[in-house]
């Protein structure tokens, strides 16, 4: 029975699709090079191992929303699930390189977008967890076997790759989803005050809040 291993080789922004996604190159290896693998039906869950990197004081302050006060991070700093994917690996012998497309929505209602927005530089440790089925030739017959539940691959994603992807799709911009009634109120305020853009409207509102703010 094939005992496949998995390795993530690289990551880069995908430039030929509408929605932001990172393309990972994965090597799949069968230790029996003479054995023909007909196909692999693969499921993959990607975790961000947030506890396996250091954070600057500025990053710690902004990550309170996700993980609470840094004094509690021993209990709260748990891996974030980034994606659950399913895809096919075509037939091969020995080893093959397979692309993985990972969607990267820039939605600040998700923990993943908040996390990547906060981290400034360095690398983000990822764990790819694999499961599924492998179909292979055995004595002239097609056989199927499950992929062991403990198959995984680790990869350190450079933060600059994520930021390059977001700059590609949202240059000097960020996406903020609002409830429609909240947006309608903001829009009415913008029109009544005669502001030319939503940025100008929000800047005016923030300046008013800062001016009137009195620490308790």
Q: Is the pLDDT of residue 187 over 90?
A: no
pLDDT top residue among 135 and 179: 135
pLDDT, one tens digit per residue, over 148-168 is: 889 999 999 999 999 999 999
How would you write the chain as a 3-class SS string? CCCCEEEEEEEEECCCCCCCEEEEEEEEECCCCCCEEEEEEEEEEEEECHHHCCCCHHHHHHCHHHHCCHHHHHHHCCCEEEEEEEEEEEEEECEEEEEEEEECCCCCCCHHHHHHHHCCCCEEEEEEEEEEEEEEEECCEEEEEECCCCCEEEEEEEHHHHHHHHHHHCCCCCCCCCCHHHHHHHHHHHHHHCCCCHHHHHHHHHHHHHHHCCCC
What pTM does this model have?
0.85
For residues 91-100, average pLDDT: 95
Q: Is the pLDDT of residue 39 over 80?
A: yes
Q: Is the pLDDT of residue 30 over 90?
A: yes
Q: Distance (Å, rounded) from C-alpha 112 to C-alpha 128?
A: 15
pLDDT, one tens digit per residue, over 1-18 is: 789 999 999 999 999 888
Give the least confident one: 14-28, 176-190, 202-216: 202-216
pLDDT at residue number 148 = 87
For residues 33-59, average pLDDT: 94
- Nearest CA-CA partner of 37 in 101, 88, 106: 88
Kindly give, in sequence order, each residue whose CB lies less than 8 Å from that of residue 195, ignoring residues fewer than 6 positions away: 201, 204
pLDDT at residue number 200 = 87
Q: Is the pLDDT of residue 175 over 90?
A: no
pLDDT, one tens digit per residue, over 111-152 is: 999 999 999 999 999 999 999 999 998 877 888 999 988 999
pLDDT at residue number 212 = 67
pLDDT at residue number 174 = 77
């Amino acid at each position: 029975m094939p005992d496949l291993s998995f390795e993530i080789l690289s990551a880069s922004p995908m430039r030929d699709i509408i929605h932001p996604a990172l393309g990972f190159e994965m090597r799949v290896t069968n230790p029996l090079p003479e054995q023909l693998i007909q196909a692999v039906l693969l499921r993959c869950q990607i975790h961000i191992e947030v506890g396996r990197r250091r954070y600057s004081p500025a990053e710690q302050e902004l990550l309170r929303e996700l993980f609470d006060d840094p004094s509690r991070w021993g209990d709260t700093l748990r891996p974030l699930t980034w994606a659950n994917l399913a895809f096919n690996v075509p037939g091969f012998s020995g080893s093959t390189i397979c692309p993985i497309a990972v969607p990267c929505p820039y939605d600040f209602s998700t923990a993943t977008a908040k996390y990547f927005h906060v981290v400034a530089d360095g690398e983000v440790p990822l764990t790819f967890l694999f499961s599924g089925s492998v179909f292979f030739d055995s004595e002239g017959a097609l056989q199927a076997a499950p992929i062991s539940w403990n198959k995984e691959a680790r990869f350190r994603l450079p933060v600059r790759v994520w930021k390059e992807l977001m700059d590609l799709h949202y240059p000097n911009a960020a996406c903020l989803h609002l409830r429609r009634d909240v947006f309608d109120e903001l829009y009415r305020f913008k029109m009544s005050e005669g502001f030319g853009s939503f940025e100008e409207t929000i800047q005016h509102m923030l300046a008013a809040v800062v001016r009137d703010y009195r620490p308790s």
